[in-house]
Amino acid sequence: MAKSKSSGRWLQEHFNDEYVKRSQVDGYRSRAAYKLIEINEKDHLLRPGLRIVDLGAAPGGWTQVAAQKVGKSGVVVAMDILDMDPVVGATFLRGDFREESVLEQLLTLLGGEPLDLVLSDMAPNMSGMSAVDIPKAMFLVELAHDFARQTLKPGGDLLMKVFQGDGFDQLLQGLRHDFSTVLTRKPKASRGRSREVYLLARKYRGSLVEVALISSIKVLS
């Protein structure tokens, strides 16, 4: 079957993309790595010794960056329902983080300790129809937010991709309730025509009682 003109244009744009070329030279698995690198340069999210989970991690660009920054003293767990090749300095856990069995595996990897940072670059397969795509994307964002509330330590951070549209304002309200500061970031590596932005929610307000869910599950298992 012949390729459509639109798919041909996308392929040409992709292979001519500055960040695609850089990722091939630098050894990153995706151009998305540079989005996290730029945000980190501005906001200093990634530090040695942090405990991090990367949701929807495949193919692993963000995981690579996180593992490099936290070093041997830190913990990086990459999670995805898709398979992913190993990343040096990180542990890959395949499965749906909403499932109790998968969460229990995560808790074992973390030694029952809460997280410093949750990363999410998750996005659904896009159809090009906003009425379909935005609700799907917002559902993933809500899942990441809920996961962060269950697993972050007080003072922890959440960075996640969001597509602007219906539900965005309500999401901001919820994040501002749960975190001290919520910042919007649009890194240069994010294509200008894309509706994606990144929300950086800092200093989780959750109490140790709320975060104790992570330890209670460990005790019961």
Per-residue confidence band for 156, with pLDDT thresholds at 50, 70 and 90? very high
pLDDT reported for residue 119: 98
Residues recognised as catalytic: 161
pLDDT greater than 60 at residue 174: yes
pLDDT reported for residue 217: 46
Q: How far apart are CA 129 and CA 95, in angstroms?
A: 28
Q: Which domains does the chain possess?
A: 32-220 (3.40.50.150)
Q: Cis bond leading into 114, ω under 30°?
A: no
pLDDT reported for residue 24: 85
Asked whether the beta carbons of 155 and 203 are under 8 A apart, the reply is yes
Mean pLDDT across 159-170 = 91
pLDDT greater than 70 at residue 103: yes
**Which one has a higher pLDDT value, 22 or 52?**
52
Per-residue confidence band for 2, with pLDDT thresholds at 50, 70 and 90? very low
Per-residue confidence band for 203, with pLDDT thresholds at 50, 70 and 90? very high
Mean pLDDT across 46-64 = 97
- HSE at residue 215, side-chain half, CA atoms within 13 A, is 9
Tell me the pTM: 0.86
Mean pLDDT across 185-209 = 86
Q: How far apart are CA 112 and CA 122, in angstroms?
A: 25
pLDDT greater than 60 at residue 42: yes
Mean pLDDT across 42-55 = 98
Residues 117-130 pLDDT 10s: 999 999 877 767 77
